[in-house]
Amino acid sequence: MNVQKEVQPNILSQTQAPLLEVCNLTKVFGSGLLQRGQKAALENFSMSIQGSPSRIISIAGESGSGKTTLARLILGFLIPTQGEVRYRGKDIKTMDQKSWKTFRREVQAIFQDPYGVYNPFYPIDRVFEIVIQKFHLAKNRQESRRITEEALVVVGLRPDEILGKYPHQLSGGQRQRIMLARAFLLKPKLIIADEPVSMIDASMRAIILKIIMDLKDNFGISFLYITHDLSTAFQISDDIIVLYEGLVAESGDAEIVISSPKHPYVQLLVESIPIPDPDQPWQGRVELPPEEELEKDTLRGCKFYRRCPYKMEICLKNPPPLYNIGADHLAACYLYK
């Protein structure tokens, strides 16, 4: 796939640092006056995104696994308890204003709820006008209109059907595509998409996922695709990281991880996906232990212990480190020691 796009002369790109680097990121949420009941939403998480060639990296996990916390940390909405997020080699917490502005422009976000992100009082056009103004993308009105229309066409919308309308007049799928168009307008290098299709109907979901793949292939935009849905992750992503309770359970090439998962948790997840084929029913039964038992046992050891079919003694002593089990394939499980 040809990803050769106009190379902008950029002082930042002189260093060969990866586009985005996340080092030992930890976020602990406290509660109560004395910060008792602390909970680590994300623990010691590291990853890096090279940026070119562009890739789609999925962060998958159940609710409470820390995937949204990760997105918010990368976007700078949350301050990490420990560790840092580096964009083009610079820590986003301490970077100068100019780099911050570049970061804000080149890293865009798409959120889950396509209803909540719009101000219902303004027509759709305003979404584009604001970014065009903020980042001085156009010299005059005509140009502004032209680039807006271009962006809408890229995401498969007809400008005359969208511009001038109010958010309530559009469907969820249209609104989510407008968000992609808005992000596209800024020529980003990375889009953090937090559950972008979970509220979209199946027939439209596929269309949005196709647009994401198209933006990656033809415009060199990398994606961090955050999802609970392994089947869409399998379809579009190059790499996948599966989180469980704030820790990486397994990571690697998306196709390999999902077609032959190694970590018992990921195996359970993949088996539980309801396959749209009555001839492939769920195999066996799954039982969940009561919640409080989960917490008691797993204070020190592997957090998946209670639910794991392969419990071993060692699992209770220390949390398992990530073991290398293949080319770029890691799993945090003592089975692979």
Partner 1 sequence: MTERKPILKVKDLKVYYHIDRGSVRAVDGVSFTVHEGESFGIVGESGCGKSTMAMALLGLVVSPGTIEGGQIFLDGTDILSLNRELIRKIRWSQISFIPQGAMNSLNPVMRIGSQIADVITTHQGYQPEKNLRKRIQKLLSTVGLPHRVYRMYPHELSGGMKQRVCIAMAIALEPDVIIADEPTSALDVVVQRVVMQTLVDVQERLGAALILIGHDMGLQAQVVNRQAVMYAGKIAEIGEVKTMYKNSLHPYTKLLIKSLPTLQLRHDFQGIPGLPPSLFNPPKGCVFSNRCPYVMEQCREAIPKLVEIQPNHFVACHLHSEVIR
Kindly list the residues in this chain that would bind partner 1 in the complex (CB under 8 A). Answer: 62-63, 171-174, 201-210, 213, 228-232, 234-236, 255, 258-259, 268-270, 272-279, 281-282, 285-288, 290-291
Euclidean distance between CA atoms 92 and 85, whole angstroms:
6
Residue 330 three-state SS: strand
- Residue 222 C-beta: closest distance to partner 1, Å: 17
Decide: 29 and 56 in contact? Cβ < 8 Å: no
- Residue 100 C-beta: closest distance to partner 1, Å: 36
CB nearer partner 1, residue 77 or residue 282: 282
Phi, psi angles (nearest 5°) of residue 153 = -65, -40
CB nearer partner 1, residue 140 or residue 280: 280
- Residue 225 C-beta: closest distance to partner 1, Å: 13
Decide: 224 and 193 in contact? Cβ < 8 Å: yes
CB nearer partner 1, residue 107 or residue 249: 249
CB nearer partner 1, residue 11 or residue 275: 275
Count of C-beta atoms within a 10 Å radius of residue 53: 12
CB nearer partner 1, residue 11 or residue 153: 153
- Residue 200 C-beta: closest distance to partner 1, Å: 9
- Residue 4 C-beta: closest distance to partner 1, Å: 22
Measured in residues, the chain has a length of 337
Residue 239 makes CB contacts below 8 A (sequence gap 6+) with 55, 56, 57, 58, 251, 252, 253, 254, 328
Decide: 242 and 304 in contact? Cβ < 8 Å: no
- Residue 332 C-beta: closest distance to partner 1, Å: 18
CB nearer partner 1, residue 20 or residue 208: 208
Residue 260 makes CB contacts below 8 A (sequence gap 6+) with none
- Residue 17 C-beta: closest distance to partner 1, Å: 30
Structure tokens at 283: 């195999």
CB nearer partner 1, residue 294 or residue 335: 294
Euclidean distance between CA atoms 213 and 210, whole angstroms:
5
Q: Fill in the DSSP letter of residue 246.
A: T
